[in-house]
Amino acid sequence: MYIVDFLQSRGIGFETLLHRPAFSATRRARNMRVTGREVAKTVLVKCGEEFVLAVLPATSRIDLARLGSALQVDPTQVRLAIDAEILTTFRDCEPGTLPPFGRLYGLKTVVDMGLIGVGQVVFTGNTRHEGLRMQFHDFEAIEEPIRADFAARIAAGSDSPTPRKGRRAG
């Protein structure tokens, strides 16, 4: 289902942010001129026998062992999904985009504690050039994700909305 249609059908307020196509959450943040902490990146993870959608700040990276522990899955049974699994699951999305609404795809969603309390959150829609901004509490209300602490901050300075000279995104 197209994410915009889903949000409209639920009466959820959101803003569409069109930007240059980006293949990373950090680049999306820069293109949209918002801080990386406000941008949610979504990762498809295989936890034991099922897939889970992990949502975390763009300024962080996923710690698979901590995610497994939080979901009570043996950490050795937790891995990132491969491209073919992502394409099969997210058929209505451009490659490189995973919206944070697992319920639309029959998936459990887990959100990192780093996003709790950010106010507004920005995430990708179904295309690489479309960002959507909404209140985090609205996201939680319609998605009902599991809250867990599974992300580690990438680097200081990655929160800035515009690139600084001599620095590259990680």
* pLDDT tens digit sequence for 26-64: 666 666 666 667 889 999 999 999 999 999 998 899 999
| CATH number of the domain residue 45 falls in | 3.90.960.10
6 lies in a domain?
Answer: no
133 lies in a domain?
Answer: yes
Mean pLDDT across 143-155: 92
161 lies in a domain?
Answer: no
7 lies in a domain?
Answer: no
23 lies in a domain?
Answer: yes
* pLDDT tens digit sequence for 101-133: 999 999 999 999 999 988 899 998 888 778 899
Question: Total structural domains in the chain?
Answer: 1
Question: Is this model's pTM higher than 0.85 or not?
Answer: no
8 lies in a domain?
Answer: no
Please name the residues in contact with 58: beta carbons below 8 A apart, sequence gap of 6 or more. Answer: 24, 25, 26, 28, 29, 36, 37, 39, 40, 41, 158
71 lies in a domain?
Answer: yes
Closest to 4 in 3D by CA, of 126, 144, 141: 126
Residue 60 sits in which domain range?
15-153
